[in-house]
Amino acid sequence: MDYFAAVRAFLHAAEPGSFSKAAAQMEVKTSTVSRHINELEADLGIALFNRSTRGLVLTEGGQVFRTHALAAMQSLDDARQSTSSLNASPKGVLRVTMPASFGRRHVIPHLPEFTRRYPRIDVDAVVTDEPLNIIEARIDLAIRVGVLPDSQRVAHAALRFSLAPDDKWILVKRTGGVSPTRAAAARSGPCIRRRRRWRRKCARSSISTRRCSRTMRIGRG
Protein backbone atom coordinates (compact mmCIF):
# COMPACT_ATOMS: atom_id res chain seq x y z
CA MET A 1 0.00 0.00 0.00
CA ASP A 2 1.01 3.60 -0.36
CA TYR A 3 1.77 4.23 3.29
CA PHE A 4 2.45 7.90 2.73
CA ALA A 5 -0.90 8.48 1.08
CA ALA A 6 -2.65 6.44 3.75
CA VAL A 7 -1.21 8.44 6.62
CA ARG A 8 -1.98 11.69 4.86
CA ALA A 9 -5.55 10.55 4.30
CA PHE A 10 -5.85 9.65 7.96
CA LEU A 11 -4.59 13.03 9.13
CA HIS A 12 -6.89 14.84 6.74
CA ALA A 13 -9.83 12.79 7.94
CA ALA A 14 -9.02 13.02 11.64
CA GLU A 15 -9.28 16.77 11.77
CA PRO A 16 -12.84 17.32 10.49
CA GLY A 17 -13.92 13.82 11.47
CA SER A 18 -15.17 13.09 8.00
CA PHE A 19 -13.96 10.99 5.10
CA SER A 20 -15.91 13.06 2.59
CA LYS A 21 -14.39 16.33 3.72
CA ALA A 22 -10.94 14.80 3.70
CA ALA A 23 -11.53 13.49 0.20
CA ALA A 24 -12.71 16.89 -1.02
CA GLN A 25 -9.72 18.61 0.51
CA MET A 26 -7.27 16.15 -0.99
CA GLU A 27 -9.09 16.12 -4.30
CA VAL A 28 -9.65 12.39 -4.38
CA LYS A 29 -12.78 10.27 -4.02
CA THR A 30 -14.27 9.22 -0.73
CA SER A 31 -13.65 5.62 -1.62
CA THR A 32 -9.95 6.28 -1.76
CA VAL A 33 -9.91 7.78 1.70
CA SER A 34 -11.98 4.94 3.05
CA ARG A 35 -9.67 2.37 1.50
CA HIS A 36 -6.54 4.06 2.75
CA ILE A 37 -7.76 4.22 6.29
CA ASN A 38 -8.93 0.63 6.20
CA GLU A 39 -5.48 -0.40 5.03
CA LEU A 40 -3.92 1.58 7.82
CA GLU A 41 -6.19 -0.03 10.38
CA ALA A 42 -5.38 -3.47 9.01
CA ASP A 43 -1.66 -2.71 9.17
CA LEU A 44 -1.84 -1.46 12.75
CA GLY A 45 -4.26 -4.14 13.82
CA ILE A 46 -6.43 -1.60 15.52
CA ALA A 47 -9.40 0.59 14.66
CA LEU A 48 -8.57 4.26 14.25
CA PHE A 49 -12.10 5.62 14.01
CA ASN A 50 -15.43 4.78 15.52
CA ARG A 51 -17.82 5.18 12.62
CA SER A 52 -21.35 6.45 12.72
CA THR A 53 -23.38 8.35 10.19
CA ARG A 54 -23.28 11.27 12.59
CA GLY A 55 -19.56 11.58 12.05
CA LEU A 56 -16.34 9.89 13.01
CA VAL A 57 -14.67 9.85 16.37
CA LEU A 58 -11.05 8.89 16.84
CA THR A 59 -10.52 5.82 18.95
CA GLU A 60 -7.90 5.93 21.63
CA GLY A 61 -5.49 4.25 19.27
CA GLY A 62 -6.45 6.76 16.63
CA GLN A 63 -5.48 9.60 18.91
CA VAL A 64 -2.15 8.02 19.73
CA PHE A 65 -1.44 7.40 16.07
CA ARG A 66 -2.47 10.89 15.11
CA THR A 67 -0.05 12.50 17.55
CA HIS A 68 2.91 10.51 16.31
CA ALA A 69 1.92 10.68 12.67
CA LEU A 70 1.63 14.44 12.82
CA ALA A 71 5.16 14.67 14.15
CA ALA A 72 6.43 12.28 11.51
CA MET A 73 4.83 14.18 8.66
CA GLN A 74 6.12 17.43 10.06
CA SER A 75 9.63 16.02 10.10
CA LEU A 76 9.29 14.86 6.53
CA ASP A 77 8.08 18.25 5.42
CA ASP A 78 11.04 19.78 7.21
CA ALA A 79 13.32 17.41 5.37
CA ARG A 80 11.94 18.46 2.00
CA GLN A 81 11.83 22.13 2.83
CA SER A 82 15.29 22.51 4.27
CA THR A 83 16.84 20.33 1.59
CA SER A 84 15.27 21.78 -1.50
CA SER A 85 15.75 25.31 -0.24
CA LEU A 86 19.47 24.63 -0.57
CA ASN A 87 19.35 25.05 -4.32
CA ALA A 88 17.05 28.08 -4.33
CA SER A 89 19.57 30.55 -3.04
CA PRO A 90 23.19 29.49 -3.41
CA LYS A 91 24.44 28.59 0.01
CA GLY A 92 26.90 26.25 1.60
CA VAL A 93 30.48 25.25 1.17
CA LEU A 94 32.02 25.17 -2.30
CA ARG A 95 35.29 23.33 -2.45
CA VAL A 96 37.40 24.25 -5.45
CA THR A 97 40.80 22.91 -6.31
CA MET A 98 43.19 24.50 -8.80
CA PRO A 99 46.86 24.68 -9.69
CA ALA A 100 48.85 27.05 -7.50
CA SER A 101 50.07 29.56 -10.05
CA PHE A 102 46.81 29.62 -12.01
CA GLY A 103 44.86 30.11 -8.82
CA ARG A 104 46.98 32.95 -7.55
CA ARG A 105 46.68 34.79 -10.86
CA HIS A 106 43.16 34.11 -12.11
CA VAL A 107 41.00 32.93 -9.21
CA ILE A 108 42.08 34.31 -5.83
CA PRO A 109 41.91 37.98 -6.94
CA HIS A 110 38.20 37.54 -7.71
CA LEU A 111 37.24 35.85 -4.47
CA PRO A 112 36.43 39.03 -2.50
CA GLU A 113 33.95 40.10 -5.19
CA PHE A 114 32.53 36.60 -5.37
CA THR A 115 31.96 36.31 -1.64
CA ARG A 116 30.35 39.74 -1.64
CA ARG A 117 27.93 38.67 -4.34
CA TYR A 118 27.16 35.30 -2.74
CA PRO A 119 27.60 35.93 0.97
CA ARG A 120 26.05 32.60 1.93
CA ILE A 121 28.65 30.63 0.01
CA ASP A 122 31.88 29.72 1.73
CA VAL A 123 34.55 29.11 -0.85
CA ASP A 124 37.07 26.52 0.15
CA ALA A 125 39.93 26.92 -2.30
CA VAL A 126 42.35 24.01 -2.38
CA VAL A 127 45.33 25.55 -4.18
CA THR A 128 47.70 22.74 -5.02
CA ASP A 129 49.56 21.20 -7.90
CA GLU A 130 49.02 17.71 -6.50
CA PRO A 131 46.52 15.54 -8.41
CA LEU A 132 43.75 15.24 -5.82
CA ASN A 133 41.12 12.53 -5.68
CA ILE A 134 38.16 14.82 -6.16
CA ILE A 135 35.73 12.40 -4.53
CA GLU A 136 37.73 11.65 -1.41
CA ALA A 137 38.69 15.29 -0.99
CA ARG A 138 35.03 16.27 -1.51
CA ILE A 139 35.93 18.68 -4.30
CA ASP A 140 32.91 20.26 -5.99
CA LEU A 141 34.83 21.87 -8.82
CA ALA A 142 38.30 21.05 -10.12
CA ILE A 143 40.23 23.35 -12.43
CA ARG A 144 43.05 21.70 -14.33
CA VAL A 145 45.45 23.19 -16.83
CA GLY A 146 47.67 21.43 -19.32
CA VAL A 147 48.38 17.73 -19.78
CA LEU A 148 47.72 15.68 -16.68
CA PRO A 149 50.29 13.09 -15.60
CA ASP A 150 47.50 10.63 -14.90
CA SER A 151 46.50 9.79 -18.46
CA GLN A 152 43.48 7.71 -17.38
CA ARG A 153 41.60 10.87 -16.44
CA VAL A 154 41.06 11.93 -20.02
CA ALA A 155 37.91 13.88 -19.18
CA HIS A 156 39.88 16.36 -17.12
CA ALA A 157 42.16 17.16 -19.95
CA ALA A 158 39.21 18.25 -22.08
CA LEU A 159 38.51 21.31 -19.93
CA ARG A 160 40.14 24.46 -21.27
CA PHE A 161 39.78 27.91 -19.86
CA SER A 162 39.11 30.87 -22.12
CA LEU A 163 38.55 34.49 -21.16
CA ALA A 164 35.71 35.00 -23.58
CA PRO A 165 33.96 38.38 -23.87
CA ASP A 166 30.54 37.00 -22.94
CA ASP A 167 29.29 35.55 -19.67
CA LYS A 168 30.32 31.99 -20.43
CA TRP A 169 33.15 29.56 -20.19
CA ILE A 170 33.98 28.03 -23.52
CA LEU A 171 34.59 24.32 -23.36
CA VAL A 172 36.57 22.90 -26.25
CA LYS A 173 36.85 19.22 -26.79
CA ARG A 174 40.30 17.78 -27.31
CA THR A 175 41.04 17.08 -30.96
CA GLY A 176 41.75 13.56 -32.14
CA GLY A 177 41.50 10.19 -30.44
CA VAL A 178 38.41 11.01 -28.41
CA SER A 179 35.72 8.36 -28.09
CA PRO A 180 32.13 9.35 -29.00
CA THR A 181 30.90 9.31 -25.45
CA ARG A 182 33.82 11.34 -24.23
CA ALA A 183 33.26 13.84 -26.99
CA ALA A 184 29.63 14.05 -25.96
CA ALA A 185 30.66 14.65 -22.39
CA ALA A 186 32.95 17.44 -23.43
CA ARG A 187 30.23 18.96 -25.58
CA SER A 188 27.58 18.84 -22.91
CA GLY A 189 29.41 20.93 -20.35
CA PRO A 190 31.97 20.64 -17.59
CA CYS A 191 33.62 17.36 -18.04
CA ILE A 192 34.00 15.55 -14.78
CA ARG A 193 31.62 12.67 -14.74
CA ARG A 194 29.16 13.66 -12.08
CA ARG A 195 28.75 17.12 -13.47
CA ARG A 196 27.72 15.68 -16.81
CA ARG A 197 25.23 13.49 -15.01
CA TRP A 198 23.93 16.45 -13.13
CA ARG A 199 23.34 18.35 -16.36
CA ARG A 200 21.56 15.41 -17.90
CA LYS A 201 19.35 15.18 -14.84
CA CYS A 202 18.57 18.88 -15.05
CA ALA A 203 17.51 18.53 -18.66
CA ARG A 204 15.29 15.60 -17.76
CA SER A 205 13.46 17.13 -14.87
CA SER A 206 13.54 20.84 -15.72
CA ILE A 207 15.69 21.68 -12.75
CA SER A 208 17.48 24.97 -13.04
CA THR A 209 21.14 24.59 -13.88
CA ARG A 210 21.90 27.74 -11.96
CA ARG A 211 24.04 25.91 -9.47
CA CYS A 212 26.40 24.80 -12.21
CA SER A 213 26.65 28.07 -14.05
CA ARG A 214 27.18 30.15 -10.94
CA THR A 215 29.89 27.86 -9.82
CA MET A 216 31.54 28.35 -13.16
CA ARG A 217 31.45 32.10 -12.99
CA ILE A 218 34.10 32.33 -10.33
CA GLY A 219 36.93 33.41 -12.61
CA ARG A 220 35.12 36.02 -14.65
CA GLY A 221 36.46 39.55 -14.53
Partner DNA sequence: GCTTCTTACGTCTCTCGTAACAATT
Partner DNA sequence: AATTGTTACGAGAGACGTAAGAAGC
Residue pair 219/110 in contact (Cβ under 8 Å)? The answer is: yes
Q: How far is the CB of 114 from a copy of itself (least distance, A)?
A: 18
* Chain centre distance of CA 7: 26
Beta strand spans in 20-142 (E): 49-52, 55-58, 92-98, 121-127, 141-142
Nearer to DNA, 18 or 215 (CB): 18
One residue of 29, 92, 119, 170 binding a copy of itself per CB under 8 A: 92
Q: How far is the CB of 159 from a copy of itself (least distance, A)?
A: 18
- Selected from 29, 86, 124, 148, the binder of a copy of itself by CB under 8 A is 86
Is residue 205 at the binding interface for a copy of itself, with CB under 8 A as the rule? yes
199 part of the interface to DNA, by CB under 7 A:
no
Closer to DNA by Cβ: residue 51 or 105: 51
Of 140, 135, 105, the closest CA to residue 125 belongs to 140
Residue of the chain from 100, 135, 164, 184 that contacts a copy of itself (CB under 8 A):
135
Contact flag: residue 84 with a copy of itself (CB under 8 A) = yes
DSSP state, residue 174? P
Q: Name the nearest CA neighbour of 7 among 69, 79, 75.
A: 69
Binding partner of residue 29 among a copy of itself, DNA, none, CB under 5 to 8 Å per kind?
A: DNA
CA separation (Å) from 120 to 25, 89, 93, 112, 161?
Answer: 38, 8, 9, 13, 26
* Cα R_g (the chain), whole angstroms: 27
Indicate which single residue of 29, 51, 117, 187 sits in contact with a copy of itself (rule: CB under 8 A).
51
Least Cβ distance, residue 181 to DNA (angstroms):
4
**Ranges within 148-187 binding a copy of itself (CB under 8 A):** none
217: nearest Cα among 154, 179, 161, 174? 161
Burial of 217 (C-beta count, 10 Å sphere; 0-12/13-18/19+): middle
Residues near a copy of itself, by CB under 8 A: 2-4, 7, 38, 41-47, 50-52, 54-55, 57, 60-61, 64-65, 68-69, 71-73, 75-76, 78-80, 82-84, 86-87, 92-93, 133, 135-136, 138, 193-194, 197-198, 201, 204-205, 207-208, 211
Residues near DNA, by CB under 7 A: 1-2, 5, 18-20, 27-32, 34-38, 51-56, 152, 155, 179, 181-182, 185, 193, 197, 200
